[in-house]
Amino acid sequence: MSSAQLYDTIGATYTVTRRTEPRIAARIWAALGDARTVLPAGLR
């Protein structure tokens, strides 16, 4: 199986099975505080 096929197999149910990780989400929300706008500065 090629890596592309493996990726497609693993990702087939991603949108159905993905879930928010509560511990990570809590840290992000805490870091955002009362911010109303977020700038994704790391993206190009």
Instruction: Give the chain's domain count.
Output: 1
- Whether 42 maps to a domain, the answer reads no
Which residue would you say has higher pLDDT here, 25 or 42?
25
Question: Containing domain of residue 15, as a range?
Answer: 3-32
- Whether 10 maps to a domain, the answer reads yes
- Whether 28 maps to a domain, the answer reads yes
Contacts of 38 (CB under 8 A, 6+ apart): 32
Phi/psi of residue 20, nearest 5 degrees? -70, 135
- Whether 14 maps to a domain, the answer reads yes
DSSP 36: S
- Whether 37 maps to a domain, the answer reads no
Single pTM value for the model:
0.53
Checking if the pLDDT of 16 tops 80, the result is yes
Whole-angstrom Cα distance, residue 26 to residue 32?
10
